[in-house]
Structure 1
Amino acid sequence: MRAVLLLFACLVLSGCGLVALPFRVTGDVIQVVPVIGKPIGAPIHAVGDAID
């Protein structure tokens, strides 16, 4: 079961998904900041979407 989950994780995170992950995580973390988080975090998160 562990091998199947590892294989699935590798397939999901391969290629563009692996490159886009830091942008998505950073955008989500920044969006938590009150007042300025939403306008600053949205473009960063959009970069991750554009990479995919």
Structure 2
Amino acid sequence: MRIMMLLLAALSLSGCGLVALPFRVTGDVLSVVPVVGKPLGAPIHAVGDVID
């Protein structure tokens, strides 16, 4: 069961999704910062959208 779950996770993160993941995570983390989070996080998160 564990191997099957790892295989499904690997397949879902293959390709462009794996490349876009760091941009999405960084954009989400920055958007939590008060005052400057939204303006700085939105463009970084948008890069992840463009990659997909």
TM-score, with length taken from structure 1: 0.94
In the TM superposition, residue 15 of structure 1 has moved relative to its aligned partner by: 0.7
Unmatched tracts of structure 2, length 5 or more = none
Partner of 1:45: 45
In the TM superposition, residue 3 of structure 1 has moved relative to its aligned partner by: 1.1
Q: Look up the equivalent residue of 2:35 and give its one-letter code.
A: V
> Pairwise CA RMSD of aligned residues?
0.6
How many corresponding residue pairs?
52
Task: Percent identity, please.
Answer: 79
Runs of 4+ in 1 over 3 A off after TM superposition: none
In 1, Cα distance between equivalents of 2:5 and 2:41: 31
In the TM superposition, residue 34 of structure 1 has moved relative to its aligned partner by: 0.3
Partner of 2:22: 22
